[in-house]
Every structure is written in structure tokens, then in C-alpha cells.
């Protein structure tokens, strides 16, 4: 079982495999394009880097999401990879259009 949603084997590092197999692709754009069925389907676009797009929010987002790495969440660290959640949190905070506070 494999596809755009991964292969459901519990190993996220091999989820970006093209239908032809081989090594997992690095860029999500290349992975998405590898699953195109018809040539007339538009090619995927590389998303904008939220840090570059919102540099004024970068430190604020890192500060707010840093709570995930503190002792408050330490009991969770053995069950989930904290760095992945931290990166996703920063990305979400960078993309939010809500009013934000400066450090």
C-alpha cells in the first residue's frame, strides 16, 4: 500500500516514495509530480518559505513554540519527536494572519 498519503508502515522517512519506487524524494513538489496521472495535470509548485515571507514573525513564533521543548511537555518527548512538532508549530504561527505580539 502506497500513495500520496504514504505507505502506513509507521516510518515517516520513507513516505515520499514515487510510484516507481526507489529512494524517497526530498522535495514535496517532486513527490507530488511523480504521482501525476496525466501530462495535462498542472505541475506542483514549491510553496513559499514562511520564514522568508514573514521575517518579523520568526523570533516570535520560535519563542511561542519553544514551550514544546520545555519540561512542561517533557513526559511527551519519549513518545513523539518534539523537533517535528516544534517545526510545524513555527510554520503554522508564521503563516497565521492573526494579530501577533512581538517579543
Same domain for 3 and 36, yes or no, is yes
Q: How many domains does the chain have?
A: 2
Per-residue pLDDT in tens (0 to 9) along the chain, 103 residues: 777 777 788 888 888 888 888 888 888 888 888 888 888 989 988 777 777 777 888 888 888 899 999 999 999 888 888 998 898 888 877 777 555 554 4
Structural domain contains residue 51: no
User: Is-above-0.85 flag for pTM?
Assistant: no
6 DSSP assignment:
B
Same domain for 4 and 39, yes or no, is yes
CA 43/CA 35 separation, integer angstroms: 10
Domain extent for 14: 1-46
The number of CA neighbours under 13 Å toward the Cβ of 91 is: 9
Same domain for 35 and 64, yes or no, is no
Sign for the CA dihedral angle at 37, 38, 42, 43 comes to: positive
Structural domain contains residue 22: yes
Amino acid at each position: 500500500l502506497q500513495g500520496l498519503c504514504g505507505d502506513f508502515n509507521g516510518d515517516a522517512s520513507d513516505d515520499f516514495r514515487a510510484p516507481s519506487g526507489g529512494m524517497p524524494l526530498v522535495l514535496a513538489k517532486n513527490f507530488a509530480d511523480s504521482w501525476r496521472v496525466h501530462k495535462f495535470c498542472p505541475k506542483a509548485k514549491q510553496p513559499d518559505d514562511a520564514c522568508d515571507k514573514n521575517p518579523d514573525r520568526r523570533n516570535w513564533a520560535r519563542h511561542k513554540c519553544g514551550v514544546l521543548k520545555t519540561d512542561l511537555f517533557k513526559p511527551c518527548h519519549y513518545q513523539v519527536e518534539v523537533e517535528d512538532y516544534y517545526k510545524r508549530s513555527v510554520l503554522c504561527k508564521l503563516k497565521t494572519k492573526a494579530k501577533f505580539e512581538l517579543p
